[in-house]
Amino acid sequence: RRIVPVVINTWAFTDAASKSWSVLNSGGSAIDAIVAGCTVCEQEQCDGTVGYGGSPDENGETALDALIIDGTTMNVGAVGSMKRIKEASKVARHVMENTKHTLLVGKGATQFAKQMGFNETNLSTNYSLDLWKHWKTNCQPNFWINVMPDPEKYCGPYKPNLPNNLKPNSNFVDAKNHDTIGIVAIDHNGNIAAGTSTNGAKFKIPGRVGDSPITGSGAYAMKDIGAAAATGDGDIMMRFLPSFLAVQLLKNGYNPKGAAKSAIDTIVQFYPNFSGAIIVIDRYGHYGAACHGFDKFPYSIANSEQDNVSIKYIEC
């Protein structure tokens, strides 16, 4: 097959796509490109929902989720709910390359990152602390969980055995609360990789891990087939492994757009109110996306057909 290098990422995070593309063009691997793109977003704090200083949890702290997957070897590295280290996707790469493990979480992830030479630092900023203080002074305590229709209203400590009619019908992520970077790439040698990086969801219960660092949920890639990456209401999406599903559908002959749509439709069947989106590439560099629960979903793309990164919009 003819190899068509390409990089696509969720949302209008064009600096990330641009960085990943330049890495591919200077001979970098698909994995190099994924990590470089995610790192740009972690540094730029893309939309406040990637990297430090965003999405404070119920205690006001920021915790990061990230994943990388190498479709050539099916090697994976990920971190979940990692506090006090800014470079989540680089740490994920260390998990992939320097351990036998796939996913490290919480304090253990922070400790591992320190051993790998990363700086420990406070991830809070004035912005994230202000967000948290405002929420904390206005939230209504003693609800069972904070995924009520308006999650920003409720907070712990939680009570067990909330009556069924008060149990959450999750719609956690809204237009302001769902901008994970999910990224997929094919390099000049035809290697396919994918990754994600996010600070998760605002006011989550400490310890919550989203879809983003879960293999097959936040992202997936497999050589000679393609790759996918998702964004949105992770608490719902991770029940369906949409990225895994989309790649399997490609394998079964779906085109990228059809695979994306079918993966989203599977979730909608159970959760008609969920918000989320998925991007998909096949091994030829064809791409497609699908979304649900908001108006328009932008994603960024760089390939050799265009000089600059472009943004595509789809209607949800």
| Closest of 110, 291, 296, 82 to residue 200, by C-alpha | 82
Chain positions 268 to 287 lying near ligand SD4, rule: CB under 6 A, are none
Strand pairing category for 276-282 and 181-186 = unpaired
Catalytic one of 10, 39, 49, 180: 180
Q: Judged by CB under 6 A, does residue 292 bind ligand SD4?
A: no
Q: Could you say whether residue 210 binds ligand SD4 (CB under 6 A)?
A: yes
Q: Find the binder of ligand SD4 among 200, 216, 226, 285 (CB under 6 A).
A: 200
Buried b / exposed e over 252-261, threshold 16 CB at 10 Å, is eebebebbbb
Under the binding rule (CB under 6 A), the answer on residue 152 touching ligand SD4 is no
- Interactions with ligand SD4, residue window 221-240 (CB under 6 A): 231-234
- Give burial (CB, 10 Å; 0-12/13-18/19+) of 188: middle
| Binding of ligand SD4 by 211 (CB under 6 A) | yes
Which lies closer to ligand SD4 via its Cβ, residue 151 or residue 256? 151
48 touches ligand SD4 (CB under 6 A): no
- Other C-beta atoms within 10 Å of 296: how many? 11
180 among known catalytic residues = yes
Backbone angles phi, psi at 296, to 5 degrees: -135, 145
262/245 Cα distance (integer angstroms): 9
Q: Candidates 34, 95, 173, 250: give the one binding ligand SD4 (CB under 6 A).
A: 173
293 belongs to the binding site for ligand SD4 (CB under 6 A):
no
Nearer Cβ to ligand SD4 (64/225)? 64
- The phi-psi region of residue 203 (left if phi > 0; otherwise alpha if psi is between -120 and 50; otherwise beta) is left
Stretch of 87-95, 123-131, 155-163, 206-214 contacting ligand SD4, by CB under 6 A: 206-214
What residues make contact with ligand SD4 under the rule CB under 6 A? 49, 173, 178-180, 198, 200-201, 210-212, 231-234
- Residues identified as active-site: 180
